[in-house]
Amino acid sequence: MTFDMPGKSANVLTDEVWVDLSRALDRLESKPPAGVILVSAKPTIYVAGADLVKISNTLDWSDDEIIRFCEEGRAIMSRFSRLLSVSVAAVHGVCVGGGMELTLWCDHRIASDDRKTLFGLPEVKLGLVPGWAGTVRLPRLIGLQEAIDLVTTGNLIDAKRAKELGIVTCVGPQSEMIDRAVQIINDELASRAFLKKRQAMLGAVTDMPHDLDALRQRFQQQIDSNREIDSSAPSIVLQHMIDTAGVDQQAACHNESLAMAKVYGSIENQGLLHYFFLDERSKKVRSDYGEVQPPRIERIGIIGAGLMGCQIAKLALTAGYQVTLFDADQNKLHREFAALATGKNGQNIRVADSFKTFADADLVIEAIVEKLTIKRQLFEQLCQVVGPEIFLATNTSTIPVSDIATAVPNPARLVGLHFCCPVEPLRLVEVIRGQQSSQTIVNVAIDVVRAMRKTPIVVGDHPGFVVNRLLCPVFNQALEMLTHGIPLSQMDASFREFGFAAGPLEMIDFIGVDTIMYAGETFLRTLPELVSLNPILPALVKRGRLGRKSNLGFYRYESFDSVARIDRELDPILDRYQKEPLSLDNDQILDRLLEPMIAAGRAVLADGVVDDSRDVDLCSVLGTTFPAVRGGLLHWADELRRAGS
């Protein structure tokens, strides 16, 4: 049996596929062969799972409709477990969600040894639980503890690990899979062992620890500490799997349907589905050169060996580019070069003693201080020694590309690349199309960002673009609240409790106190309604408290990556600028921080920085760490407004 949805890159369990599958099973049941081998015609995806478009369109279903949805899917899949034939799922490519559940109803699973072959039940990452017996068949196959770990994390595993756990029978070259499946079928027909396995799957879980309460507590702690996934769905599925480990398959499946009804259409499920489609949409942002041959980008020059420049250099090296790094501070340059040279592809980096070294570069990225006059001066000097054909990029975070481009002959070759900070965990890179940026340089930027395994989004050339347009008003409000005596730790805690990876003051320390101060100067000049004059940042910069990079900012740090600690030496600095004290609870603090962020998001749309609210939502999640479970900034704000009305 071959799965192959015409014209699609992946097989998905749509209503049409269910009908076709049911008809195919009718034929198998009427004239059973010795064995059935399930394969996929897709080169990289076996079966991707449920139809998420249908799920997103049915989030208002009643509990009865949700339960029926689960039962109908199981009713079709379970027919493989009752065939007179031996069934083998021969898996090559990604096999996840409903696709993996389908294979769990077969007598055997075998897998190709290709790195593209992965197994998993990632439903919790969408605020759902597996609903077609994944939570029931898996623990009866590999044991309760390992099954809970897979389902509550949603992690994907490769074929080798799947064999170690007992999910697959054997792993080997794709070219040998059919022969191996035939051998398994013949062996099973001779021994009839598959019938005993089927009977065992109908009962309770046999491999489980004696102390289920300790197991529940341990996994609940793991769920609560996992900031990558909202805890609602994993907690519900954990309780369900432990409660049903001792009952038969039929009773466990019914309870699985009830668990699905608890999460299907929840606020968390709605938000995560919205974000899933945002992420899928972002993958379609691709370069388009038309009939023109794409330029080869092999050598990248980076100017600035500070925190941002070195992180960009690391990404470029990992992507396989030849990198040349320059900084006016030669001591810092050679120190950072030594660190980068010991990392992945470190042999591909060299240092430059002047801009002339960039003469053979294909692309030069500027990553220096966020000051317009200094950036212009740099490009004037650079363009005197590099050819007019070399592509240029500025890692600007707030300054419009067009303002910098006045220093560049042939400004069509200049584009903005805003790598969000901290670079390593944040996937977003804003590709800023200046007023004179050519489509070719925009395409080059998209390709380079993709090669660095980041998500590019093309934005208009407006001060702050999207990400910093959202963040600067938040920082401004946080600084204002500091002057009214609101503790910085309380503000940061309220942000983290909402779901951000860090609070506003923690973010400033990450990005750099001086960088945020310079960004504020840009906004005061271009969008004064977004920020107000506040003396705190200049006072910190004057004292060398630049954030993590100097081990002192709003907090104290032992090293760049260490835990933030309260620093009482900050108190007298803040005391100098105190106004009338305010007393606010966490909800009030959160409202004051998020209201200007929402207003900025709506202004981004109104100003045409992007054309679609989904772009603002994506930038908020991937660039500011706005919680994905809430679906993005404007999606969440609109849901609040609808709920209030």
Residues paired with 203 in a beta bridge? none
The secondary element (H helix, E strand) that includes residue 451 is: helix 439-451
CA 275 distance to own-chain centroid: 10
Burial 347-371 (b: 16+ CB within 10 A, else e): ebbebbeebebbeebbbbbbbbebe
Question: E strands of 327-412, at which residues?
Answer: 349-351, 363-366, 391-394
Residues paired with 300 in a beta bridge? 323, 363
Q: What is the gyration radius of the CA atoms in the chain, in angstroms? A: 28
Interatomic CA distance for residues 339 and 306, integer angstroms: 13
Render 398-441 in DSSP notation, one character per residue: SS-HHHHGGGSSSGGGEEEEEE-SSTTT--EEEEEE-TT--HHH
Residues paired with 89 in a beta bridge? 38, 109
Provide the annotated active-site residues. Answer: 101, 123
Which tokens in the block code for residue 575?
């005391």
Phi/psi-derived region of residue 512, left when phi > 0, alpha when psi is between -120 and 50, beta in every other case? left
Amino acid at 517: M
Burial 580-592 (b: 16+ CB within 10 A, else e): eeeebeeeebbeb
Render 472-517 in DSSP notation, one character per residue: HHHHHHHHHHHTTT--HHHHHHHHHHHT-SS-HHHHHHHH-HHHHH
Phi, psi of 294 (to 5 degrees): -60, 140
Closest CA relative to residue 229, chosen from 219, 218, 239 = 219
What 8-state DSSP symbol labels residue 78?
A: G
Q: Under a CB-based contact definition with an 8 Å cutoff, are residues 153 and 231 in contact? A: no
Q: Under a CB-based contact definition with an 8 Å cutoff, are residues 452 and 426 in contact? A: no
